[in-house]
Amino acid sequence: MKTLNDFDFKDKKALIRVDFNVPLNDDFQVTDATRILSAKPTIIKILEDGGSCILMSHLGRPKGVDETFSLKHIIEKVEDILGVGVKFVSSCVGAEAEEAANNLEPGEILLLENLRFHPEETAGDENFAQSLSKLGDIYVNDAFGTAHRAHASTTIVAQFFPEAKCFGALLAKEIESIDKVLNTSEKPVLAVLGGAKVSSKITVIENILDKVDHMIIGGGMTFTFIKAQGGKVGDSICEDDKIPLALDILKQAKEKGVQIHLPVDIVAANAFSNTAETQIVDVNAIPDGWQGLDAGPKSLENFNDVVMQCKTILWNGPLGVFEMENYAKGTIALGNAIADSTKNGAFSLVGGGDSVAAVKQFGFEDKVSYVSTGGGAMLESLEGKTLPGIAAILEA
């Protein structure tokens, strides 16, 4: 696996695929700069080597050229985080971009305009990728969030740098962290899978059953498993068509010696609302007209015991509707348990949009081993897929 350390960037122009797809408010100010911060180590390493950086990214899903999605809006924030001036060019291919890249001096940074202003980017167009390749000497992919897409800038462009391509620091860390959980983990290994639907996690569950010793299933997924075993779930979210699958997963887990841990009690509400009436009920006996929105106190005690005995922990998905204060206790308690276990020497990897949002919201970011920057990319990695953006760098 080629990384930044395999190259000397002195007097070289590094063409870096970063993921600067950051949220902006109505005044076009960056509201969460995590992705820019994540790219900083790669950029600074190249500049310190005596090289220059040409940054390419997408922002949002524009239909053609759209000023709303221009990367010029983030220049100030990028400069602020990197502590270096950033030049900007209002295109990413063609004469203007090539001239700006050619004129770049060692120690300088050039940010290209939004790649997705060109439909050729998402189409994985080879000619577009070749035009991008003219801008740099070494191709660096540091965008895990888009590594599962075979786009021009994430995958196709790599073929024009057969001997001069590598992973950036962020992408290398993502690959190492997922590999640590799936392949080189210290046992016992725990996977915590939450979220609303079993259907979105089927392939993840099936792939990791061979890798884990314990699996906590929480969130809305709980109720498909409970109903499959004959429990009453009231008005809780439930995928009736996935009941046979839930039973099959439980059977497979038993055969493989994996302990599945489901909630035993639930915070039930009489409406999907933070101000609804609530009660703690047995997970198998949720009354009609009531729905489970968070794990109950006995469940949290059980989960805490499991977390504390495990040495490797993967967390993907919240235990309840954490966006509402009254149903956030389960997710917070789980976060605290994982933080304690990490402090005691466990390796903990958090990934998937909702888990990452919860970790940030409740201040667990620095209390776990690693927070993944890619939602879809992480899920596909856990499903056992080789991501096209990663394969493109590994190919000779």
- The answer to the question of whether 73 is labelled as a binding residue is no
Please give the distance of CA 367 from its chain centroid, rounded to a whole number: 17
* Catalytic position from the list 12, 13, 17, 35: 35
**CA–CA distance from 35 to each of 32, 113, 288, 383 (Å)?**
8, 17, 44, 24
The helix or strand, by DSSP H or E, that contains position 15, with its residue range, turns out to be strand 13-17
SS3 323: coil
- The answer to the question of whether 375 is labelled as a binding residue is no
Asked if 110 and 54 count as a contact pair (C-beta separation under 8 A), the reply is: yes
* Catalytic position from the list 72, 77, 311, 376: 376
Neighbouring-strand partners of residue 191: 215, 314
- The answer to the question of whether 199 is labelled as a binding residue is no
- The answer to the question of whether 265 is labelled as a binding residue is no
Asked if 378 and 170 count as a contact pair (C-beta separation under 8 A), the reply is: no
- The answer to the question of whether 116 is labelled as a binding residue is yes
- The answer to the question of whether 194 is labelled as a binding residue is no
What does the DSSP assignment read for 329-381? HHHHHHHHHHHHHHHTT-EEEE-SHHHHHHHHHTT-GGGSSEE-S-HHHHHHH
- The answer to the question of whether 201 is labelled as a binding residue is yes
Only one residue has tokens 């950029």, namely 43
Q: 35 an active-site residue?
A: yes
- The answer to the question of whether 136 is labelled as a binding residue is no
Q: 376 an active-site residue?
A: yes
- The answer to the question of whether 118 is labelled as a binding residue is no
Neighbours of 213 (CB within 10 A): 19
* Catalytic position from the list 353, 360, 367, 385: 353
Helices 243-256 & 221-228, crossing angle to 10 degrees?
Answer: 80
- The answer to the question of whether 395 is labelled as a binding residue is no
- 352: left (phi > 0), else alpha (psi -120 to 50), else beta? left
Neighbours of 231 (CB within 10 A): 18
Q: 353 an active-site residue?
A: yes
- The answer to the question of whether 17 is labelled as a binding residue is no
* Catalytic position from the list 40, 197, 311, 360: 197
DSSP state of 111: E
Which residues are annotated as part of the binding site? Answer: 19-21, 35, 58-61, 116, 149, 201, 292, 323, 352-355
Give the active site residues: 35, 197, 353, 376
Annotated binding site for substrate: 19-21, 35, 58-61, 116, 149
Annotated binding site for ATP: 201, 292, 323, 352-355
